[in-house]
Amino acid sequence: MTTSIIKSQEILVSTDLDKDQIKLKHIIKSLPKECFQKNSRKAWTTVVLSLAMAALGYYFLAISPWFLLPLAWIFTGTALTGFFVIGHDCGHRSFAKRRWVNDLVGHFSMMFLIYPFHTWRIKHNHHHKHTNKLDEDNAWHPIRPETFENWDKTKQSAFELFMRKRLWWVGSIGHWALVHFDARKFEKKDQASVKLSVAVVLIFAAIVFPSLIITTGVWGFIKFWFIPWMVYHFWMSTFTIVHHTTADVPFGSAEKWNEAMAQLFGTIHCDYPRWVEILCHDINVHVPHHISTSIPSYNLRLAYASIKENWASYLHDECKFSWDLMKKITNECQLYQTDIGYITFDKYYAQK
């Protein structure tokens, strides 16, 4: 392999390093400086795009006959996912240079989804610090057999049903409900911010939900908010599980965890239909985001092209979103044996 000379930073980056020698700083230094540059025009264009597409989606919902509603729901819910990605950039302070702008836009974009901005920001940053680390990663993470055995029968049955019946698409709803509304689950220094974010979404819901029901009825609430919100969670759950889950992606215990390889090989690039990628601001181009959270969403493709050029041999194979992909993940990645890898429920029961 060749050595890439990064003249602007006057460093040498060897792509012939042993994987245990690779540090995140090596990868970050190999990226063009342009990847980290914030562009106000591009950032606010994502806001305008999401607002326009959501408005178009709701117009589509308002005029559609019943047989076109599924298409309208899918489009509108996907457009709403774009608001989450904008909040995602704000949470990583990569949307704007000023923190107050990030906080303001983050709260605005995520309140439509009833997602408390600061609670998500704090928890999500923990995921980045501990990606694919057993017992630490708080995003989608595998369940170990010993953990499964300590659950009561009801919880075991629910988890097994969740995986066998391919209910991954509701996974983020449970995470949203259980993790993001209780300030007591956060450090004292963060509790004021958490309470503020929870208050923002509760006030929004207290105003919008009754107004929607009064003007359009219960069916209007379901039609205009609940089902698009469920579509958003379909994408939220799907992106989250696909980003880091396949049978050959390891989750390491703390003493064996390699930060750089967790981000390079443990983060998977998946191609989705182009219209989904546009509405969701390229969140699927996820490897560079795990190399550095300071890369704005509109620079992810530039960064990924550089990573593929310099670090291709360390990357996981790319995949394409499909029902077969989701079947493969849910069929194979059910329980996780430390230092061995994923096993199925059937193999787990056969071993007992």
Q: What confidence score (pLDDT) does residue 10 get?
A: 33
**Chain Cα centroid distance, residue 347:** 30
Distance CA 25, CA 39 (A): 24
User: Each residue's pLDDT tens digit in the chain (352 positions)?
Assistant: 333 333 333 333 444 556 667 889 999 999 999 999 999 999 999 999 999 999 999 999 999 999 999 999 999 999 999 999 999 999 999 999 999 999 999 999 999 999 999 999 999 998 999 999 988 888 888 999 999 999 999 999 999 999 999 999 999 999 999 889 999 989 999 999 999 999 999 999 999 999 999 999 999 999 999 999 999 999 999 999 999 999 999 998 888 888 899 899 999 999 999 999 999 999 999 999 999 999 999 999 999 999 999 999 999 999 999 999 999 999 999 999 998 999 999 999 998 7
Distance CA 188, CA 9 (A): 40
Burial pattern 88-125, b for ≥16 Cβ within 10 A else e, equals bbbbbbbbbeeeeebbebbbbbbbbbbbbbbbbbbbee
Report if residue 286 sits inside a domain: yes
Angle at 284 between CA 163 and CA 128, to 5 degrees: 80
Distance CA 76, CA 59 (A): 9
Tokens of 214: 């009064």
pTM: 0.92
Q: What confidence score (pLDDT) does residue 17 get?
A: 57
The total domain count for the chain is 1
Tokens of 192: 């004021």
β 319-320/270-271 pair status: parallel
Distance CA 78, CA 231 (A): 7
Q: How far apart are the first and last CA of the chain?
A: 47
**E-assigned strand segments in 49-136:** none
Report if residue 26 sits inside a domain: no
Q: What confidence score (pLDDT) does residue 301 get?
A: 97
Report if residue 217 sits inside a domain: yes
Print the domain residue range for 208: 31-304+316-351
Q: What confidence score (pLDDT) does residue 16 get?
A: 55
Report if residue 206 sits inside a domain: yes
Report if residue 23 sits inside a domain: no
Distance CA 338, CA 315 (A): 22
Tokens of 223: 């039609």
> Which residue in 340, 329, 347 sits closest to 163, CA to CA?
329
Report if residue 99 sits inside a domain: yes
Report if residue 5 sits inside a domain: no
> Quick check: 236 and 172 in contact, CB under 8 A?
yes
Report if residue 1 sits inside a domain: no
Q: What confidence score (pLDDT) does residue 135 get?
A: 85
Q: What confidence score (pLDDT) does residue 6 get?
A: 34
